[in-house]
Structure 1
Amino acid sequence: MRMFRILIPVALSAAATLPALAADYVQAPGSSLAFAGKYQGETFSGTFPDFRTTLRFDPADPGAGKLAVTIPLATATTQNPDYDGEMRGSAFFDVSKFANATYTASGFRDLGNGRYAADGTLELRGVRKPVTLTFTWTPGSRPLLSGRATVPRLDFGVGGGEWADTAMIPDEIAVSTRLHLQPAN
Protein backbone atom coordinates (compact mmCIF):
# COMPACT_ATOMS: atom_id res chain seq x y z
CA MET A 1 0.00 0.00 0.00
CA ARG A 2 2.90 2.36 0.79
CA MET A 3 4.29 1.84 -2.73
CA PHE A 4 0.87 2.74 -4.20
CA ARG A 5 0.83 6.04 -2.22
CA ILE A 6 4.22 6.97 -3.63
CA LEU A 7 3.34 6.09 -7.24
CA ILE A 8 0.15 8.19 -7.40
CA PRO A 9 1.88 11.58 -6.79
CA VAL A 10 4.70 10.61 -9.19
CA ALA A 11 2.21 9.63 -11.91
CA LEU A 12 0.15 12.80 -11.43
CA SER A 13 3.29 14.94 -11.56
CA ALA A 14 4.41 13.27 -14.81
CA ALA A 15 0.96 13.75 -16.37
CA ALA A 16 0.97 17.46 -15.47
CA THR A 17 4.21 17.98 -17.42
CA LEU A 18 2.96 16.35 -20.65
CA PRO A 19 2.36 18.83 -23.46
CA ALA A 20 -1.23 19.53 -24.45
CA LEU A 21 -2.17 17.70 -27.62
CA ALA A 22 -3.76 19.46 -30.54
CA ALA A 23 -7.43 18.64 -30.91
CA ASP A 24 -8.97 17.51 -34.18
CA TYR A 25 -12.22 19.22 -35.14
CA VAL A 26 -14.80 19.16 -37.90
CA GLN A 27 -17.21 21.88 -38.88
CA ALA A 28 -20.45 21.95 -36.87
CA PRO A 29 -23.89 23.24 -37.90
CA GLY A 30 -24.29 27.02 -37.77
CA SER A 31 -20.96 27.73 -39.47
CA SER A 32 -20.67 30.30 -42.25
CA LEU A 33 -18.26 31.32 -45.00
CA ALA A 34 -19.09 34.65 -46.60
CA PHE A 35 -17.65 37.07 -49.15
CA ALA A 36 -18.23 40.74 -49.89
CA GLY A 37 -17.17 43.33 -52.40
CA LYS A 38 -18.47 46.20 -54.49
CA TYR A 39 -19.98 46.32 -57.94
CA GLN A 40 -20.18 49.82 -59.47
CA GLY A 41 -19.96 51.30 -55.97
CA GLU A 42 -22.75 49.12 -54.52
CA THR A 43 -21.84 46.58 -51.86
CA PHE A 44 -22.68 42.95 -52.56
CA SER A 45 -22.27 39.96 -50.30
CA GLY A 46 -22.75 36.24 -50.55
CA THR A 47 -22.07 32.90 -48.96
CA PHE A 48 -20.68 29.47 -49.71
CA PRO A 49 -23.31 27.41 -47.87
CA ASP A 50 -21.89 23.94 -48.56
CA PHE A 51 -18.25 24.43 -47.52
CA ARG A 52 -16.56 21.76 -45.38
CA THR A 53 -13.76 22.21 -42.87
CA THR A 54 -11.37 20.14 -40.77
CA LEU A 55 -9.05 21.70 -38.20
CA ARG A 56 -6.29 20.63 -35.84
CA PHE A 57 -5.61 23.33 -33.29
CA ASP A 58 -4.18 23.86 -29.84
CA PRO A 59 -3.82 27.51 -28.70
CA ALA A 60 -0.79 26.45 -26.63
CA ASP A 61 0.96 25.19 -29.79
CA PRO A 62 -0.41 27.06 -32.83
CA GLY A 63 2.59 25.99 -34.91
CA ALA A 64 1.17 22.46 -35.00
CA GLY A 65 -2.16 23.66 -36.44
CA LYS A 66 -3.66 22.41 -39.70
CA LEU A 67 -6.68 23.69 -41.59
CA ALA A 68 -8.39 22.26 -44.68
CA VAL A 69 -11.44 23.84 -46.33
CA THR A 70 -13.29 22.61 -49.43
CA ILE A 71 -15.62 25.11 -51.10
CA PRO A 72 -18.11 23.86 -53.73
CA LEU A 73 -18.29 26.88 -56.05
CA ALA A 74 -21.64 26.04 -57.68
CA THR A 75 -23.40 26.66 -54.35
CA ALA A 76 -22.06 30.20 -53.98
CA THR A 77 -24.95 32.63 -53.70
CA THR A 78 -25.63 36.33 -53.34
CA GLN A 79 -29.40 35.73 -53.36
CA ASN A 80 -29.47 37.72 -56.63
CA PRO A 81 -30.15 35.40 -59.59
CA ASP A 82 -28.42 37.74 -62.06
CA TYR A 83 -25.24 37.99 -59.94
CA ASP A 84 -25.29 34.26 -59.15
CA GLY A 85 -25.57 33.22 -62.80
CA GLU A 86 -22.70 35.49 -63.80
CA MET A 87 -20.61 34.46 -60.79
CA ARG A 88 -20.87 30.74 -61.68
CA GLY A 89 -20.06 31.42 -65.35
CA SER A 90 -16.76 31.33 -67.22
CA ALA A 91 -15.71 34.90 -66.39
CA PHE A 92 -15.80 34.30 -62.63
CA PHE A 93 -15.78 30.86 -60.93
CA ASP A 94 -16.29 28.83 -64.13
CA VAL A 95 -17.95 26.01 -62.17
CA SER A 96 -18.21 23.77 -65.25
CA LYS A 97 -14.38 23.47 -65.19
CA PHE A 98 -13.59 24.16 -61.52
CA ALA A 99 -16.08 22.55 -59.14
CA ASN A 100 -14.24 23.39 -55.92
CA ALA A 101 -11.87 25.84 -54.38
CA THR A 102 -9.66 24.69 -51.51
CA TYR A 103 -7.80 26.41 -48.71
CA THR A 104 -5.10 24.63 -46.74
CA ALA A 105 -2.76 25.87 -44.03
CA SER A 106 -0.20 24.22 -41.77
CA GLY A 107 1.42 25.89 -38.79
CA PHE A 108 -0.34 28.96 -37.44
CA ARG A 109 1.23 32.08 -35.93
CA ASP A 110 0.26 33.53 -32.55
CA LEU A 111 -0.39 37.27 -33.08
CA GLY A 112 -1.08 37.90 -29.38
CA ASN A 113 -4.27 38.92 -27.61
CA GLY A 114 -6.08 35.74 -28.70
CA ARG A 115 -5.43 36.36 -32.39
CA TYR A 116 -3.76 33.95 -34.79
CA ALA A 117 -2.76 33.81 -38.45
CA ALA A 118 -2.94 30.88 -40.85
CA ASP A 119 -0.62 31.48 -43.78
CA GLY A 120 -2.23 29.12 -46.24
CA THR A 121 -2.75 28.40 -49.89
CA LEU A 122 -5.95 29.07 -51.77
CA GLU A 123 -6.55 27.08 -54.94
CA LEU A 124 -9.20 28.71 -57.11
CA ARG A 125 -9.75 28.22 -60.85
CA GLY A 126 -6.61 26.03 -60.96
CA VAL A 127 -4.41 28.81 -59.54
CA ARG A 128 -2.60 28.33 -56.20
CA LYS A 129 -1.59 31.46 -54.28
CA PRO A 130 -0.84 32.33 -50.67
CA VAL A 131 -3.68 33.86 -48.63
CA THR A 132 -3.50 34.66 -44.91
CA LEU A 133 -6.50 34.05 -42.67
CA THR A 134 -6.39 35.96 -39.38
CA PHE A 135 -8.65 34.59 -36.69
CA THR A 136 -9.70 34.55 -33.07
CA TRP A 137 -10.37 31.38 -31.10
CA THR A 138 -13.11 30.96 -28.52
CA PRO A 139 -12.60 27.68 -26.62
CA GLY A 140 -15.35 25.58 -25.11
CA SER A 141 -17.40 22.47 -25.74
CA ARG A 142 -18.22 23.93 -29.16
CA PRO A 143 -15.19 26.11 -30.04
CA LEU A 144 -15.56 29.03 -32.44
CA LEU A 145 -13.00 30.22 -34.97
CA SER A 146 -13.86 33.69 -36.33
CA GLY A 147 -11.66 34.75 -39.21
CA ARG A 148 -11.07 37.17 -42.06
CA ALA A 149 -9.00 37.17 -45.23
CA THR A 150 -8.63 39.32 -48.32
CA VAL A 151 -8.54 37.60 -51.70
CA PRO A 152 -7.12 39.46 -54.72
CA ARG A 153 -9.60 38.07 -57.26
CA LEU A 154 -7.57 38.95 -60.36
CA ASP A 155 -4.62 36.85 -59.12
CA PHE A 156 -6.95 33.86 -59.51
CA GLY A 157 -8.50 34.93 -62.82
CA VAL A 158 -11.85 35.68 -61.17
CA GLY A 159 -13.67 38.36 -63.13
CA GLY A 160 -11.59 38.42 -66.27
CA GLY A 161 -12.29 40.16 -69.55
CA GLU A 162 -14.62 43.12 -69.19
CA TRP A 163 -14.91 42.34 -65.45
CA ALA A 164 -11.17 42.92 -64.88
CA ASP A 165 -11.82 46.67 -64.61
CA THR A 166 -11.18 47.45 -60.93
CA ALA A 167 -13.28 50.62 -61.22
CA MET A 168 -16.25 48.31 -61.79
CA ILE A 169 -15.32 45.61 -59.22
CA PRO A 170 -12.32 46.23 -56.93
CA ASP A 171 -9.63 43.55 -56.95
CA GLU A 172 -9.86 42.79 -53.22
CA ILE A 173 -12.73 40.62 -52.03
CA ALA A 174 -13.28 40.27 -48.28
CA VAL A 175 -13.86 36.75 -46.98
CA SER A 176 -15.08 36.01 -43.46
CA THR A 177 -15.93 32.89 -41.53
CA ARG A 178 -17.60 31.89 -38.28
CA LEU A 179 -16.62 28.31 -37.85
CA HIS A 180 -18.39 26.38 -35.12
CA LEU A 181 -16.48 23.19 -34.38
CA GLN A 182 -17.02 19.82 -32.80
CA PRO A 183 -14.52 17.05 -32.05
CA ALA A 184 -13.72 14.80 -35.00
CA ASN A 185 -14.71 11.18 -34.48
Structure 2
Amino acid sequence: MNRFFRRSILTASVAASLFAGVAHAQVDLSKSKVTATSKQMNVPVDGTFKKFTAQLDFDPAKPAAGSAKLSIDTASYDLGDESYNQQVRGKDWFNTAQFPNATFVSSAIAPAGGNQFKVSGTLTIKGKSENVTVPVTVTQQGATQTFDGTLPIKRSQFDIGLGEWKDTSVVADEVLIKFHLVDARK
Protein backbone atom coordinates (compact mmCIF):
# COMPACT_ATOMS: atom_id res chain seq x y z
CA MET A 1 0.00 0.00 0.00
CA ASN A 2 1.24 3.44 -0.68
CA ARG A 3 2.61 5.91 1.82
CA PHE A 4 -0.37 8.28 1.69
CA PHE A 5 -2.79 5.49 2.55
CA ARG A 6 -0.74 4.40 5.55
CA ARG A 7 -0.62 7.92 6.88
CA SER A 8 -4.31 8.24 6.32
CA ILE A 9 -5.06 5.18 8.37
CA LEU A 10 -3.02 6.43 11.26
CA THR A 11 -4.72 9.79 10.99
CA ALA A 12 -8.06 8.06 11.26
CA SER A 13 -6.98 6.53 14.53
CA VAL A 14 -6.04 9.89 15.90
CA ALA A 15 -9.25 11.47 14.78
CA ALA A 16 -11.27 8.92 16.61
CA SER A 17 -9.41 9.73 19.78
CA LEU A 18 -9.89 13.40 19.24
CA PHE A 19 -13.49 13.09 20.14
CA ALA A 20 -12.17 12.60 23.58
CA GLY A 21 -12.08 16.39 23.65
CA VAL A 22 -14.22 18.71 25.70
CA ALA A 23 -17.08 20.95 24.71
CA HIS A 24 -19.96 22.99 26.12
CA ALA A 25 -23.69 22.74 25.50
CA GLN A 26 -24.53 21.79 21.93
CA VAL A 27 -21.66 21.62 19.47
CA ASP A 28 -22.05 23.64 16.28
CA LEU A 29 -20.89 21.04 13.78
CA SER A 30 -20.60 23.57 10.96
CA LYS A 31 -17.91 25.45 12.92
CA SER A 32 -16.28 22.52 14.73
CA LYS A 33 -13.55 20.24 13.48
CA VAL A 34 -11.78 17.08 14.58
CA THR A 35 -8.64 15.90 12.82
CA ALA A 36 -6.11 13.16 13.31
CA THR A 37 -2.50 13.64 12.32
CA SER A 38 -0.29 10.64 11.85
CA LYS A 39 3.09 10.26 10.27
CA GLN A 40 3.87 7.90 7.46
CA MET A 41 7.56 7.63 6.70
CA ASN A 42 7.88 10.71 8.92
CA VAL A 43 5.56 12.80 6.73
CA PRO A 44 2.43 14.19 8.50
CA VAL A 45 -0.94 13.05 7.14
CA ASP A 46 -4.20 14.70 8.23
CA GLY A 47 -7.68 13.23 8.12
CA THR A 48 -11.01 14.67 9.29
CA PHE A 49 -14.05 13.03 10.86
CA LYS A 50 -17.14 14.40 9.16
CA LYS A 51 -19.80 13.05 11.57
CA PHE A 52 -19.92 13.18 15.35
CA THR A 53 -22.30 13.96 18.20
CA ALA A 54 -21.73 15.47 21.62
CA GLN A 55 -23.64 15.82 24.87
CA LEU A 56 -21.82 18.50 26.83
CA ASP A 57 -22.22 20.48 30.03
CA PHE A 58 -19.50 22.92 31.05
CA ASP A 59 -19.31 26.05 33.19
CA PRO A 60 -15.74 27.41 33.63
CA ALA A 61 -16.73 28.68 37.10
CA LYS A 62 -17.70 25.12 38.11
CA PRO A 63 -15.53 22.79 36.00
CA ALA A 64 -15.85 19.81 38.37
CA ALA A 65 -19.61 19.77 37.74
CA GLY A 66 -19.09 19.53 33.96
CA SER A 67 -19.33 16.50 31.73
CA ALA A 68 -18.70 15.49 28.14
CA LYS A 69 -19.90 12.51 26.14
CA LEU A 70 -18.82 12.33 22.52
CA SER A 71 -19.36 9.79 19.78
CA ILE A 72 -17.67 9.80 16.39
CA ASP A 73 -18.78 7.90 13.31
CA THR A 74 -15.54 6.14 12.33
CA ALA A 75 -16.83 5.53 8.80
CA SER A 76 -16.94 9.31 8.31
CA TYR A 77 -13.15 9.59 8.39
CA ASP A 78 -12.02 11.47 5.29
CA LEU A 79 -8.50 11.43 3.93
CA GLY A 80 -9.46 13.21 0.74
CA ASP A 81 -9.51 10.06 -1.43
CA GLU A 82 -12.35 7.53 -1.41
CA SER A 83 -10.10 4.51 -2.01
CA TYR A 84 -8.06 5.43 1.11
CA ASN A 85 -11.26 6.09 3.06
CA GLN A 86 -12.52 2.60 2.18
CA GLN A 87 -9.27 1.01 3.35
CA VAL A 88 -9.46 2.87 6.67
CA ARG A 89 -12.94 1.42 7.22
CA GLY A 90 -11.55 -2.12 6.87
CA LYS A 91 -10.69 -4.65 9.58
CA ASP A 92 -7.01 -3.71 9.81
CA TRP A 93 -7.84 -0.12 10.68
CA PHE A 94 -11.21 0.99 12.11
CA ASN A 95 -13.27 -2.10 11.24
CA THR A 96 -16.31 0.16 10.97
CA ALA A 97 -18.68 -2.75 10.28
CA GLN A 98 -18.04 -4.13 13.78
CA PHE A 99 -17.07 -0.88 15.55
CA PRO A 100 -19.02 1.99 13.95
CA ASN A 101 -18.28 4.51 16.70
CA ALA A 102 -15.41 5.74 18.83
CA THR A 103 -16.47 7.34 22.11
CA PHE A 104 -15.25 9.47 24.96
CA VAL A 105 -17.03 9.80 28.30
CA SER A 106 -15.58 12.22 30.83
CA SER A 107 -15.10 11.31 34.47
CA ALA A 108 -13.54 14.55 35.77
CA ILE A 109 -12.76 18.11 34.67
CA ALA A 110 -10.13 20.08 36.60
CA PRO A 111 -8.77 23.61 36.20
CA ALA A 112 -5.15 23.84 35.01
CA GLY A 113 -4.63 27.60 35.27
CA GLY A 114 -6.17 30.47 33.33
CA ASN A 115 -8.45 29.17 30.60
CA GLN A 116 -6.80 25.73 30.65
CA PHE A 117 -8.54 22.57 31.87
CA LYS A 118 -7.68 18.87 32.12
CA VAL A 119 -10.52 16.59 31.11
CA SER A 120 -10.16 12.96 32.18
CA GLY A 121 -12.28 10.10 30.94
CA THR A 122 -12.52 6.88 28.99
CA LEU A 123 -11.69 6.77 25.29
CA THR A 124 -12.99 3.71 23.44
CA ILE A 125 -11.91 2.83 19.90
CA LYS A 126 -12.46 -0.55 18.26
CA GLY A 127 -13.78 -1.97 21.52
CA LYS A 128 -10.58 -1.06 23.41
CA SER A 129 -10.87 1.43 26.27
CA GLU A 130 -8.14 3.59 27.76
CA ASN A 131 -8.22 6.24 30.47
CA VAL A 132 -6.94 9.52 29.02
CA THR A 133 -6.54 13.13 30.12
CA VAL A 134 -7.10 15.79 27.49
CA PRO A 135 -5.66 19.30 27.93
CA VAL A 136 -8.28 21.79 26.77
CA THR A 137 -8.19 25.55 26.23
CA VAL A 138 -11.56 27.25 26.64
CA THR A 139 -12.08 30.61 24.96
CA GLN A 140 -15.18 32.73 25.48
CA GLN A 141 -16.29 35.37 23.00
CA GLY A 142 -19.66 36.80 23.89
CA ALA A 143 -22.01 33.88 24.52
CA THR A 144 -19.89 31.48 22.46
CA GLN A 145 -17.31 29.15 23.94
CA THR A 146 -14.70 27.28 21.94
CA PHE A 147 -12.73 24.25 23.11
CA ASP A 148 -9.34 23.51 21.58
CA GLY A 149 -6.92 20.73 22.34
CA THR A 150 -4.60 18.02 21.17
CA LEU A 151 -4.52 14.47 22.52
CA PRO A 152 -1.60 12.21 21.61
CA ILE A 153 -2.48 8.51 21.53
CA LYS A 154 -0.76 5.31 20.47
CA ARG A 155 -2.68 3.58 17.69
CA SER A 156 -1.33 0.21 18.87
CA GLN A 157 -3.28 0.59 22.15
CA PHE A 158 -6.50 0.46 20.13
CA ASP A 159 -5.48 -2.20 17.55
CA ILE A 160 -5.50 0.41 14.78
CA GLY A 161 -3.23 -0.83 12.03
CA LEU A 162 -3.13 -4.62 12.10
CA GLY A 163 -1.44 -7.08 9.77
CA GLU A 164 1.19 -5.38 7.63
CA TRP A 165 0.20 -2.04 9.23
CA LYS A 166 1.19 -3.10 12.74
CA ASP A 167 4.82 -2.22 11.97
CA THR A 168 5.39 1.30 13.31
CA SER A 169 8.52 1.92 11.21
CA VAL A 170 6.36 3.00 8.25
CA VAL A 171 3.30 4.46 10.00
CA ALA A 172 4.25 5.90 13.39
CA ASP A 173 2.49 4.65 16.50
CA GLU A 174 1.72 8.13 17.81
CA VAL A 175 -1.32 9.94 16.46
CA LEU A 176 -2.33 13.48 17.40
CA ILE A 177 -6.02 14.11 17.75
CA LYS A 178 -6.71 17.81 17.34
CA PHE A 179 -10.06 19.40 17.96
CA HIS A 180 -11.77 22.76 17.70
CA LEU A 181 -15.27 22.57 19.12
CA VAL A 182 -17.63 25.54 19.08
CA ASP A 183 -20.75 25.61 21.21
CA ALA A 184 -24.02 26.36 19.47
CA ARG A 185 -25.60 28.66 22.06
CA LYS A 186 -27.17 31.72 20.52
The bucket for the TM-score relative to the shorter chain is 0.7 to 0.9
Determine the C-alpha separation between the residues in 2 that align with 1:86 and 1:150.
23
CA offset at residue 24 of structure 1?
6.0
State whether residues 42 and 172 of structure 2, in contact with CA within 8 Å, keep that contact through their aligned partners in structure 1. Answer: no
Determine the C-alpha separation between the residues in 1 that align with 2:106 and 2:161.
25
Q: What TM-score, normalized by structure 2, do the two folds share?
A: 0.82
Aligned length: 162
Partner of 1:155: 157
Partner of 2:129: 128
Partner of 1:27: 27
Higher relative contact order (CA 8 A, sep 6+): 2
CA offset at residue 112 of structure 1?
0.6
Structure 1 stretches lacking a partner, 5+ long = 1-22
Structure 2 stretches lacking a partner, 5+ long = 1-22
- Structure 1, residues 31-58: CA drift from partner, whole Å, max 9, x if none? 1111001112221101111111121111
Partner of 1:53: 54
Structure 2: which amino acid aligns with 1:77?
D
Structure 2: which amino acid aligns with 1:95?
T
Q: What is the identity percentage for the equivalent residue pairs of Structure 1 and Structure 2?
A: 30
Structure of greater Rg: 1
Q: What TM-score, normalized by structure 1, do the two folds share?
A: 0.82
User: 5 Å matches for 1:1-185?
Assistant: 25-28=25-28, 29-139=30-140, 140-183=142-185
Determine the C-alpha separation between the residues in 2 that align with 1:86 and 1:102.
21
Determine the C-alpha separation between the residues in 1 that align with 2:84 and 2:67.
33
Runs of 4+ residues deviating >2 angstroms: 80-83
